[in-house]
């Protein structure tokens, strides 16, 4: 199984590597097993989202309607996003260098992988697979508030040059857009793509240490993105998160 997984992943990475802007997005032939995995994971995530996702995300999910019984293609989701917020998906070979990954947001582009997580990592993938990209980021990009914040991160990434500033930008992006938490109705709600695409992360939220969303504390906080997060930063609301991030980006 491992050999077959690696073969499929390598093939999809090559397709992304060979793709050029202006060409049709690569069409992936997902296997029946991958479609079943997608259906299993997204059904569980959808159930958790009803209770744990922030209101902005839940609204966006009604506009960015993802197929449930098979893995959607980037070419199916992109026109929906473009119509909603102007964003478009483009294939990624794997983890994209931070400055290029973030910088693409300024031009309404988002690098997305097209391979599936390993079956043994069903509910928490240590790498950004197609579930993470579509269920997490793509739906968020369908919300105008979040889409604008992505663009602001992108503009900052294109402008920064000092390594320390880029490192701080990555930190704040991680704790705001990947593992972001906000309070709604007095309860923590998830708004980060890495949390929204991980059953394990959402199910363990009650055990996580939630600290106030403070960018000075965030840039000082180490993290390991291969495991569930023991510490997260919760903003008072989506508006508060946006305001704090914009204040940080202005100072940067």
Q: By C-alpha distance, which of 241, 231, 135 is closest to 183?
A: 241
The Cα 104–Cα 116 span in angstroms is 23
The Cα 103–Cα 82 span in angstroms is 18
**φ, ψ of residue 5 in degrees (nearest 5):** -60, -45
The residues facing 183 across adjacent strands are 188
Token pair belonging to 110 = 């988002």
* Domain count along the chain: 1
pLDDT 10s digits, 164-211: 999 999 999 999 999 999 999 999 999 999 999 999 999 999 999 999
Handedness of CA 170, 171, 175, 179 (dihedral sign): positive
* Residue 83's CATH number: 1.10.800.10
The Cα 228–Cα 27 span in angstroms is 31
Stated length of the chain: 252
pLDDT 10s digits, 79-132: 999 999 999 999 999 999 999 999 999 999 999 999 999 999 999 998 899 999
The Cα 80–Cα 3 span in angstroms is 35
Q: Band of the pLDDT at 1, cuts 50, 70, 90?
A: low
User: What is the domain extent for residue 73?
Assistant: 2-251
Token pair belonging to 236 = 């008072």
pLDDT 10s digits, 55-73: 999 999 999 999 999 999 9
**φ, ψ of residue 110 in degrees (nearest 5):** -140, 120
Radius of gyration (Cα) for the chain, nearest Å? 17
pTM: 0.95
């Amino acid at each position: 199984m491992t050999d077959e997984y690696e073969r499929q992943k390598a093939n999809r990475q090559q397709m992304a590597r060979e793709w050029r802007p202006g060409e049709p997005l690569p069409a992936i032939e997902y296997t029946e097993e991958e479609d079943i995995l997608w259906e299993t994971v997204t059904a569980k995530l959808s159930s958790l989202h009803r209770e744990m996702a922030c209101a902005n995300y839940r609204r966006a999910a009604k506009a960015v309607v993802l197929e449930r019984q098979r893995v959607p293609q980037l070419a199916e989701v992109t026109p929906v996003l473009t119509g909603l917020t102007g964003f478009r998906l483009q294939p990624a070979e794997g983890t994209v260098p931070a400055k290029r990954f973030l910088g693409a947001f300024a031009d309404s582009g988002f690098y997305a992988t097209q391979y599936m997580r390993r079956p043994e990592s069903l509910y928490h993938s240590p790498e950004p697979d197609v579930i993470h990209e579509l269920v997490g980021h793509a739906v968020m990009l369908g919300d105008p508030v979040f889409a604008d914040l992505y663009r602001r991160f992108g503009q900052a990434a294109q402008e920064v040059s000092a390594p320390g500033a880029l490192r701080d930008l990555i930190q704040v992006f991680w704790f705001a857009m990947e593992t972001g938490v906000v309070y709604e109705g007095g309860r923590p709600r998830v708004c980060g793509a890495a949390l929204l695409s991980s059953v394990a992360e959402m199910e363990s939220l009650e055990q996580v240490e939630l600290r106030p969303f403070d960018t000075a504390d965030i840039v000082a906080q180490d993290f390991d993105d291969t495991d569930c997060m023991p510490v997260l930063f919760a903003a008072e609301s989506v508006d508060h998160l946006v305001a704090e991030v914009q204040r940080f980006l202005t100072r940067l």
